[in-house]
Amino acid sequence: MPDIVLPNLALARGQVDRQAERRTNEAWIQQTWESSSTLVLPVSGGQVPVEMGDQVRLHSIAPAEVPQGTERMFLGSDSDGRSWFAARMPVTASAAGLREIGAQLSADEVALATTAIALDNWHATHPRCARCGALTVLASAGWVRRCPEHGSEHYPRTDPAVIVVVLDADDRCLLGRQARWQPTWFSTLAGFVESGESAEAAVRREVWEEAGVRVGEMTYLGSQPWPFPCSLMLGYHARATSTSIRVDGEEIVEARWFSRAELVAACESGEVALPPAVSIARWLIEVWFGEPLPGDWIRP
């Protein structure tokens, strides 16, 4: 299989300068916060404020509009040199999540929104010290939580996960349906990398556990953050060394091999609906398919 790099993954397009080296410079952070050019993105519960129109844009506010005591996180600077923070506060303007708007935002703005949502989720779910249980406090411009009891520092969590299109000797594609999905929803197989496991070993294990198919050769194609809540999706194509399907019946309840013609027929009839543009799964399927998937084949 050729070495292909996935292009334009919806949540991986941004080139925002995070300026990580400045996070511990409290004087600089405060000066930047007080600058008249600084923009703030409210974030809460996986949603950010947006302005709908010909182009979807983030709805930012000024630092002066942020209530005193609100936890804030420095996101970095955009391609125009403007500094951005996220503020953990109610979203009062039109709110949306990345599944709805991730493919429509500009490259800068999707990077800002993805980072803000990921950090907000981490702060919301990790308020206490993992060592002693004490309530932690925000530090390093929102990128650390510090225990006031013994000074231990805790950092945002990212869980690696693999996602794979499995191909057989006839170049058919293996897609599966999760138990919680609607009957027509099919996608790639995926799962988390376990402790002490390589990503490639996780691909082989997950495909075997979920579909009963063995895989050998594989090609890494690209990655995308997936802050639902804290994953990094590592995308692969893998060649099957067996084709008999045996689903686990718990996570995956149906799996099928599709030729390109069979996938076209199933999608056109409404029997199958495929992942949306925000998902790396959609891109993995399109690389195999050879061209963009029509919009009416795609589920919400």
The reply to whether 87 falls in a domain is: yes
The label of the residue with tokens 């981490």 reads 122
Q: Return the sign of the alpha-carbon dihedral for residues 38, 42, 48, 53.
A: negative
Tell me: do 105 and 213 sit in the same domain: no
Reported pTM: 0.93
Residue 3 predicted with pLDDT over 80: no
Asked if 23 and 54 sit in the same domain, the reply is yes
- On the question of pLDDT at 2 being above 70, the answer is no
For the chain, the average pLDDT equals 95
Which band of pLDDT confidence, cut at 50, 70 and 90, is reported for residue 278?
A: very high
Residue 159 pLDDT greater than 80, yes or no: yes
DSSP state string for 253-294: EEEEEE-HHHHHHHHHHTS-BB--TTSHHHHHHHHHHTSPPP
Mean pLDDT of 45-60: 94
Say whether both 100 and 220 belong to one domain: no
At residue 38, the 3 state secondary structure works out as coil
User: In terms of domains, do 104 and 185 share one?
Assistant: no
Per-residue pLDDT, averaged over 62-73, amounts to 97
Residue 226's DSSP bridge partners are 231
Asked, for residue 2, whether it belongs to a domain, the answer is: no
pLDDT of residue 4: 55
Which of 128, 124, 103 shows the shortest CA–CA distance to 114? 103
pLDDT tens digit string along 192-235? 999 999 999 999 999 999 999 999 999 999 999 999 989 999 99
pLDDT in tens, 168-204: 999 999 999 999 999 999 999 999 999 999 999 999 9
Q: Would residue 81 count as lying in a domain?
A: yes
Q: Which domain holds residue 264?
A: 159-291
Please give the pLDDT value at position 23: 98
- Report the number of distinct structural domains present in the chain: 3
* Residue of 203, 208, 174, 171 whose CA lies nearest to 190: 203
Q: 300 in a domain, yes or no?
A: no
Confidence class for position 134, pLDDT limits 50, 70, 90:
very high
Q: Are residues 60 and 164 in the same domain?
A: no
DSSP helix, strand, coil percent of the chain (3-state; round to 5): 25, 30, 45
Alpha-carbon span 85 to 62, nearest angstrom: 10
For residues 150 and 193, state if they share a domain.
no
For strand 48-51 and strand 95-96, is the pairing parallel, antiparallel, or unpaired? antiparallel
Per-residue pLDDT, 298:
95
What gap in Å lies between CA 88 and CA 108, rounded to an integer? 20
High-pLDDT (> 90) share of the chain, %: 94
297 falls within a domain: no
Average pLDDT in the 71-80 region?
Answer: 97
Per-residue pLDDT for 123 more than 90? yes
Amino acid at 109: E
Whether residues 83 and 101 fall in one domain: yes
Confidence of residue 104 (pLDDT cuts 50, 70, 90): very high
Coil vs helix vs strand at 248: coil
Q: Final residue of a domain: which of 83, 110, 125?
A: 125
Nearest residue to 165 via CA among 264, 272, 244, 283: 283
Q: Rounded mean pLDDT of 5-27?
A: 91
Peptide bond preceding 229 in cis form (omega within 30 of 0):
yes
53 and 133 together in one domain: no
